[in-house]
Amino acid sequence: MEKCIHGCNKTGCSGIIYMKRGESMQKNAPSGKLTTAERDASLDRCLSGIADEDPAALEELYRLTSAPVYGYALSFLKNAQDAEDVLHDCFVNVYVSAKGYDSCGKPMAWLFTIARNLCLLRLRERGRTADIPPEDWEDGYGHAADVGPDDRLLLEHCMTRLSDEERQIVVLHAVAGFKHREIADIMDIPLPTVLSKYHRALRKLRTFLEKGDGQS
């Protein structure tokens, strides 16, 4: 079933973004890696265009950010369908709220704050879900253009070896490219907590990988 960014059926709708399960992140992943400054400038332009009701701006924002937003939602909810629903609802919120966006040079943080609030709402509504199978992670975020085979393997281990907060921090830092201070703002936790959990997560992954090497 396809649905547009407005939430309606494809037929008869003027919306320009259609999401089909298992396809959206692969088709819309950016073709090249931007610097943080270039990315944020591009996203600010997109949000300005969306506020002016430019459909091409919404499509470009989705192309640039759908993969990391979905990956974050998946790491948070551990359920592929819930993550897709949050991805869709996130861009609906962006479409509705863009006129009120006040650029502070942190468009990704604004976007991820929306996604995080939607994830928390879904958790309250449905309760925590079971761990997702690795293939759901692979189908969702693993095909993003800037994630190589080694990183993909690391991310799959994140889904099963880390606590919820550790996994979210690793995804936000290693995948979405946020600085630790930005992650503290998004997750509403102290910066020392972010740093502590991030380094603890790395130690867990390093230990796991070393054990894996010893068994091969």
> What pLDDT is stored for residue 159 in this prediction?
61
pTM of the complete model beyond 0.85? no
Q: How far apart are CA 58 and CA 152, in angstroms?
A: 28
> What pLDDT is stored for residue 13 in this prediction?
46
> What pLDDT is stored for residue 148 in this prediction?
57
Q: How far apart are CA 176 and CA 199, in angstroms?
A: 17
Low-confidence ranges of the chain (pLDDT < 50): 1-2, 6-27, 29, 31, 129, 139-145, 213-216
> What pLDDT is stored for residue 86 in this prediction?
94
> What pLDDT is stored for residue 163 in this prediction?
87
DSSP letters for 83-99: HHHHHHHHHHHHHHHGG
> What pLDDT is stored for residue 134 in this prediction?
52
Q: How far apart are CA 47 and CA 74, in angstroms?
A: 24
* Domains identified in the chain, total number: 1
Q: Which domain holds residue 191?
A: 3-215
Report how many helices (DSSP H) and strands (DSSP E) the chain contains, helices first: 10, 2
> What pLDDT is stored for residue 62 in this prediction?
94
> What pLDDT is stored for residue 92 in this prediction?
95
